[in-house]
Structure 1
């Protein structure tokens, strides 16, 4: 576990943990353990507190188990953070915690390991599953999905404006040759894309869309955000780092709704006190510093948002 796949730079490490840990004897959840960068700093900040980590990725779980054996305050579970409510009571013996963190997206080790099938830069099997033992691989899905479904996935989850043209090219290619590797798919997408964006690989959006779909990332996010707010104590915080506009849009809308209450007609005579608002946003959205972006280019699109529970 010391090879290249373990290298990962946690984005906005100090900023996120500063926002998260408000009680050094509290109970916390790291919804996306990865390689444990945020987790280790949280543990450094805790005294008698405890931390529960989640990850789908079996390699990440290996790293988590090693940390678990080093520090009895930490427990790792192989599952999506969307299922956190089922595990919090099992691990902590209570239903409410002091803070929950979600560092969304794909980790650097997943992107850099060609065998995982996330990368359009390095050739490998076209998999894209965060947990390779569950669900359908990208190759299996592409082999059977209809042209419209492929186009819709790339458009909805990758915001790929040439999704129809690319989906047609994929279906024409697979009619005579199975699409089994990342470079195969990347080449098909690049050749079908008539307008490459400057500084961006032409397969970026298509790969993002397929990956999000294969892993149900946005569905898990929506379920996980709701589960997180239900699992917070008063004073507890939800800290979320997102990496692309689709994720951030969901997080921003969710936190705004929780903090402002339901949208009501403008002239309805109801005061804020009657809305039973239980949450508030903490500060403005935070972005990485210029120096952090220079040190880690993958942090450039990150946005950190914080929601705090203010009443039961």
Structure 2
């Protein structure tokens, strides 16, 4: 009799634990109010669709601008080909380096959501300034339809706009895709399966934005008006920002845990400063992490094979 009751109690406990796993998400994420997230109302596809939308608009804007940048510099700003190529290379270099800073800020300070949000505001500000440089009379390249040299104010506004877009891209690239992956719990079988599908749809959104950027936007720039193309990009980015903010209650958030670059630099400095010390024969004498952290993750076993 007592054994039967014990088995029943164990079955109840197992069932209760399973129900909790289905109801709540235990992967160190929180909801928008800092609470343990409910599985049914946060994350997964209901959240990731908002994230794919903003990735689509960012790629549309970036490639719509980058594809025709050298043409704009030569035809509108009247730079010679050598100077225009150098300007494009400078801009591309800055845009490539910015994700290093964006990733550091996201991991160490703001978290992925607020990094994406702030960088999108900066991106949108750059697009607005780019549009104003074409339509605002004091910022136009020329007073009439034909001019030998553009106004200095137009050049300043234009380059400030595209470098703001570089900063915005630096926040998007390292944070947005990771934020999308955060919406899926790897310990839940169905969500782990959906996570694989998410990256397929993510790439579809990315490639769709790229394709429309190098075709439709370039066509509008070439056959209609540069300013109209800028308006389209600004409206699309503003709409995606609004969509991203609307999705805030559905997201799962990870708190900033510090930049991975910091412990890497600490290891490098420690290795250099202690390079002349004798190597202990017992691996237990080596310092790896504080004792309080040893139970929180896996530690690789020491080996002499890589010496």
Q: Same fold (TM over 0.5)?
A: no
Tell me the TM-score normalized by structure 2. 0.23
Q: Considering Cα pairs closer than 8 Å and 6+ residues apart, tell me whether 1 or 2 has the greater RCO.
A: 2
The alignment's TM-score, normalised by the length of structure 1, stands at 0.22
Report which of the two has the higher share of helix: 2
